Amino acid sequence: MDKKISEEKQNNLMGKNASKLAVLEKQLDELFSRLEVVKNQKGKEKVLINIAKTRNKMKHMKYGGVFSKEAKRNLVAYSFIAPNFIGFTVFTLGPVLFAFVLAFLKWDGNNPMEFAGLDNFVKLTTDTRFLDAFVNTIIFSAATVPLTLLCALGLAITLNQKVKFRNLFRTASFFPYVASLVAVAAVWNMLFSPANGPVNMLLAKIGVAAQNLPKWAADKEFAMLTVILFSVWKSLGYYMVIYLAGLQGISRELYEAASLDGANGRQKFKSVTWPMLQPTTFFVVVILTINCFKVYDQIYMITQGGPGTSTLVLVYHIYETAFKTWDLGYASAISVVLFLLVLIVTLVQFKGEKKYVNM
Amino acid sequence: MKNKKKLKSSRLFLYAVLIFLMVLMLIPFIWMLSASLKLDKDVFIFPIEWIPGKPRWKNYIDIWTKIPLAAFIRNTSKLTVIVTVLQLLTSSFAAYAFAKLNFRHRNTLFLAYVATIAVPWQVYMVPQFMMMRSFGLNDTHTAIICLQAFSAFGVFMMRQFYRNIPDELCEAARIDGMSEYKIYAGIMLPLSKPALSSLLIFTFVSTWNDFLGPMIYLKSEEKKTLQIGLRMFISQYSSEYGLIMAASVISLIPVLIIFILLQKYFVEGIASTGIKG
C-alpha cells in the first residue's frame, strides 16, 4: 500500500520534470564525451565535478529532494543491517554459494581451478569410503534419533511432576549439553576403556566373562554403539527442555477430564500427552536428524572414524578429503550430498509445519 | 487409606527413578572430579574410590606448567568475548530493521539469512577456509571471529523476538520525533533482555566449546584455544589421567558459571526458538 503511493508520487514528479530531465541527460552525455577529449589532469577534474553536479540535479528532480523520504528510510534501515549483513555476506553467503560451484571444479588449493563437470559426482558412486560414510551417517542417525527422543521425553515427563529440587534436577540433566565436548569425551574414553575402564569392570563383576567384554571404541562391532550412547547422553538435556516446554503447553483441563473418565497414568499418556505433544515431537525429530547428519566432533574424539571405516561419517570424510588430501572439489561434492540430506529433512519440516499450523 | 499408601509408594518410585537418572547424567562429571585428584595409577582402581583418601591437589598446579593452559584460556576468552559482543550488537541491530522497519528488498535480504540457516556450516567450511586463506587469515584469531560473529541464527532469533513487541510502541516514539537509532537503543534494547541473554549464552557456549573451527584454522600453538589445546594434550600424554581430568575440570568451570547465572534465559531461549543445535 505504502509502496504504491510513493511510486505514484514518483511518477508524478517524473512527469512534471520530464522535459527538464531530458535536457540534463543531454548535458550529462556531453560532459562524458568531453571527459574523453580533455587530456590534462585539471580539466578532467573540472568535468568530473560537473558530471557529479548534473547527476545530483537529476536525482533531485527524480525524487523531489536530495533524498526522498523513502530513500532516507531505506538508508536508515540499511545502516542497521549493514554491520551484520556485510560480515554475513562475505563470510557465510559467499562461501555457501562457492561451495556449490566448487563441487563442479577440480582444485587442490594451489594450482588454478579446472572445470570438472560431473566428475566429482561420478567419483562418489565408486568411492567405497564415501559409501561407508554415507551408510554410517544414516545408521548413526537412525539409532540416535529415536533413542534420544525417548530418553528426552521420559526425562521431561519425570521432571514435569511436582518433585522436590525439580530445578536442580533439570539443571543437572542439561549440563552435559553445555559441557565442553573435549572434556566429556576424555572422561567417556576412560570410563569405556576396554582394559581397565569402570564400565567393563562393572560388567565383569556382574558376571560377563573376560573374553566377552566389549572393547567399545576399539571394536568394529561396538564402536558405533559407543558413539551413539555418548551422543544420546550429551544432547539429551537439550531436547528434554524442548519437551518440557511442550508439556507445559498442554492444558490441565485435559488431564482432569481424563481423570474423570477414570483414565490411569498410561491411558492419560496415550490419549492426552502423546497426541498433544505431536508438534513438539515433530520439531524434535527434525532438529535431531539434522544435527545427527552433521555429526563430527564426537566421532573425532572417540573413534576417529575407526576402527576401519566402522564409524566414518560424512563430515569426517569431508574433513579428510579437504584438509588431508586437498581434493577440494571432491570434498565439496560430498558436502552437496550432505546438504541434500539436510534439505530433504527441511522440506519435510516445511510440510509438517503447515499441517500443524492448520491443526 | 489404601489409596494414600499407593500414592506414597508411587512417589517413592518416582524419586528412585529420578535419582537413578540423575546419577546416569552426572556420573561422568563426578568421576572426572574424583580422578582429577588422584595419582595416574590410582585412577582405574576398582571398586571406584569416589572420594580419594589423599586428594592430590598437585594435579591442579602441575597442569599449568605442563601445557600453556593460561595462554589457551586467554585465547579462548578473548575470542569468546569478542564474538559474543559482535554477535549481540550486529544481530540485534539488523534484527531491529528486519522486524520494525519497512524498506526496499527487506524480504529478499531476510530470505538470504533464512536460507543459509538451513545450510549446515560443515557444507561450506571448505570454501570458507579457502577464502579466509586467500585473505591471509589462516592461523589468525580474526578468522575465528569472522566465522562466528555474523551468524544468521542471531539475526533470526532476535527478529522473532522483536516481532512480538507491539509496533505501536515504535510508532508512538516516532511521532515524538525519536530517531530510529534512539528507538532501538532506548526502547528495544531494554525490552529485549531475555532474548539477548539467550543469544548471549548460546554464543558464549558455542564459541567457548567450538572445536572444528579452531582445529581447521589455528595451527601455531600460541594461538590455540582451550579446546584444541586440551585435545592436543590428551593425545600427547594419553596416560596422564589425573592431569587430563584436572584440565578438563578447569575447562568446564567458565561454562558452568555462565550457565548457572543465566540458566533461566537459556531454558526460555530454547523453549521459544529451539533452533540452535
Give the per-residue SS3 of A204-272: HHCCCCHHHCCCHHHCHHHHHHHHHHHHHHHHHHHHHHHHHHHHHCCCHHHHHHHHHCCCCHHHHHHHH
Nearest beta carbon to residue B32 from set A2, A187, A343? A187
Which candidate in A68, A72, A91 is best for mutational testing of the B interface (most B CBs within 10 A)?
A91
B67 and B229 Cβ atoms separated by less than 8 Å = yes
Q: Do B101 and A339 touch (CB under 8 A)?
A: no
Q: Do B241 and A182 touch (CB under 8 A)?
A: no
Q: Do A163 and B14 touch (CB under 8 A)?
A: yes
The CA distance from A326 to the nearest CA of chain B, in Å, is: 10
Q: Would you list the domain boundaries of chain B?
A: 2-56, 60-272
Sign of the torsion formed by the C-alpha atoms of B35, B40, B46 and B52: negative
The mean pLDDT of B157-166, rounded to a whole number, is: 86
ω into B166 cis (within 30 of 0): no
The mean pLDDT of B84-99, rounded to a whole number, is: 91
The CA distance from A64 to the nearest CA of chain B, in Å, is: 18
B10, closest residue in chain A (CA to CA): A265
Which CA distances in Å does B270 have to A95, A178, A183, B161, B264? Answer: 28, 13, 24, 13, 10
The mean pLDDT of B31-36, rounded to a whole number, is: 86
Which CA distances in Å does A314 have to A295, A299, A323, B103? Answer: 8, 11, 14, 41
List CB contacts (< 8 A) between B183 and chain A.
none
In whole angstroms, give the CA distance from residue A338 to residue A321: 14
Q: Which three cell numbers stand for residue A347?
A: 522440506
Residue type, A214: P
For chain B, the three-class secondary structure string (H helix, E strand, C coil) is CHHHHHHHHHHHHHHHHHHHHHHHHHHHHHHHHHHCCCCHHHCCCCCCCCCCCCCCCHHHHHHHHHCCHHHHHHHHHHHHHHHHHHHHHHHHHHHHHHHHCCCCCHHHHHHHHHHHHCCCHHHHHHHHHHHHHHCCCCCCHHHHHHHHHCCHHHHHHHHHHHHCCCHHHHHHHHHCCCCHHHHHHHHHHHHCHHHHHHHHHHHHHHHHHCCHHHHHHCCCHHHCCHHHHHHHHHHHCCCCHHHHHHHHHHHHHHHHHHHHHHHHHHHHHHHHCCCCC
What is the residue whose three cell numbers read 534465559?
B265
Q: Do A181 and B227 touch (CB under 8 A)?
A: yes
Which CA distances in Å does B107 have to A95, B98, B110, B181? Answer: 21, 8, 5, 21
B11, closest residue in chain A (CA to CA): A163
B251 and B233 Cβ atoms separated by less than 8 Å = no
Per CATH, the number for B60-272 is 1.10.3720.10
Q: Do A183 and B249 touch (CB under 8 A)?
A: yes
* Count of CB atoms situated within 10 Å of the CB of A307: 16
Instruction: Indicate left, alpha or beta for B225 from its phi (over 0: left) and psi (-120 to 50: alpha).
Output: beta
Nearest beta carbon to residue B252 from set A91, A96, A180? A180
Burial class (CB in 10 A: 0-12, 13-18, 19+), A17: middle
Nearest beta carbon to residue B123 from set A85, A174, A339? A339
Helix (H, G, I), strand (E, B) or coil at A167: helix
Q: Which residues pair with A105 in a beta bridge?
A: A115
Q: Do A339 and B22 touch (CB under 8 A)?
A: no
A242 and B271 Cβ atoms separated by less than 8 Å = yes
Does pLDDT of B27 surpass 70?
A: yes
Residue type, B28: P
Give the pLDDT confidence of A302-313 residue by residue, as tens digits: 888 878 888 999
B241 and B167 Cβ atoms separated by less than 8 Å = no
The mean pLDDT of B96-101, rounded to a whole number, is: 89
Max Cα separation, chain A?
A: 99
* Count of CB atoms situated within 10 Å of the CB of A161: 11
Nearest beta carbon to residue A80 from set B93, B120, B255? B93
CA-wise closest residue to A242 among A156, A177, A139, A339: A156
Backbone dihedral angles phi then psi of residue A114, each to the nearest 5 degrees = -125, 150
Helix (H, G, I), strand (E, B) or coil at A345: helix
Q: Do B150 and A88 touch (CB under 8 A)?
A: yes
List CB contacts (< 8 A) between B211 and chain A.
181-182, 297, 300
Residue type, B27: I
Q: Do B46 and A323 touch (CB under 8 A)?
A: no
B260, closest residue in chain A (CA to CA): A171
Helix (H, G, I), strand (E, B) or coil at A164: coil
Percent of the residues in chain B that have a pLDDT greater than 70, as a whole number: 94
In whole angstroms, give the CA distance from residue A83 to residue B183: 18
CA-wise closest residue to B148 among A79, A88, A287: A88
Nearest beta carbon to residue B116 from set A93, A178, A181? A93
Q: Which three cell numbers stand for residue B114?
A: 533464512
Instruction: Indicate left, alpha or beta for B67 from its phi (over 0: left) and psi (-120 to 50: alpha).
Output: beta
Q: Do B118 and A184 touch (CB under 8 A)?
A: no
Does pLDDT of B61 surpass 50?
A: yes
Q: What is the DSSP letter of A105?
A: E
Residues 6+ apart with CB under 8 A from A92: B116, B124, B128, B150, B151, B152
In whole angstroms, give the CA distance from residue B59 to residue B40: 10
Dihedral angle of Cα A289, A290, A295, A298, to the nearest 10 degrees: -60
Q: What is the predicted pLDDT for the residue at A231?
A: 94
List CB contacts (< 8 A) between B208 and chain A.
180
Q: What is the predicted pLDDT for the residue at A75?
A: 87
In whole angstroms, give the CA distance from residue A11 to residue A26: 21
- ipTM topping 0.90: no
List CB contacts (< 8 A) between A323 and chain B.
129, 216
What is the residue whose three cell numbers read 523476538?
B161
- Which domains, from first to last, does chain A contain? 2-97 (no CATH), 120-358 (1.10.3720.10)
Q: What is the DSSP letter of A80?
A: H
In whole angstroms, give the CA distance from residue A289 to residue A282: 11
Q: What is the predicted pLDDT for the residue at A60?
A: 65
In whole angstroms, give the CA distance from residue A349 to residue A355: 10
Q: What is the predicted pLDDT for the residue at B275?
A: 42
Helix (H, G, I), strand (E, B) or coil at A116: coil
List CB contacts (< 8 A) between B271 and chain A.
241-242, 244-245
A74, closest residue in chain B (CA to CA): B103
Give the pLDDT confidence of A164-192 residue by residue, as tens digits: 888 788 888 888 988 888 889 988 888 88
In whole angstroms, give the CA distance from residue B10 to residue A166: 17
List CB contacts (< 8 A) between B266 and chain A.
174, 178
Which CA distances in Å does B10 have to A246, B1, B16, B233? Answer: 24, 14, 10, 48
The CA distance from A180 to the nearest CA of chain B, in Å, is: 5
The CA distance from B184 to the nearest CA of chain A, in Å, is: 10
List CB contacts (< 8 A) between B116 and chain A.
88, 92-93, 96
Helix (H, G, I), strand (E, B) or coil at A308: coil
* Count of CB atoms situated within 10 Å of the CB of A265: 11
Low-confidence residues in chain A, pLDDT < 50 = 1-3, 359
Which candidate in A5, A69, A81, A303 is best for mutational testing of the B interface (most B CBs within 10 A)?
A81
Q: What is the predicted pLDDT for the residue at B100?
A: 87
Instruction: Locate all alpha helices (DSSP H) within chain A, ordered by sequence.
Output: 2-37, 41-63, 69-88, 94-102, 119-126, 128-159, 166-178, 181-191, 198-205, 220-248, 252-260, 265-268, 274-276, 278-293, 297-302, 314-323, 328-358
Helix (H, G, I), strand (E, B) or coil at A115: strand
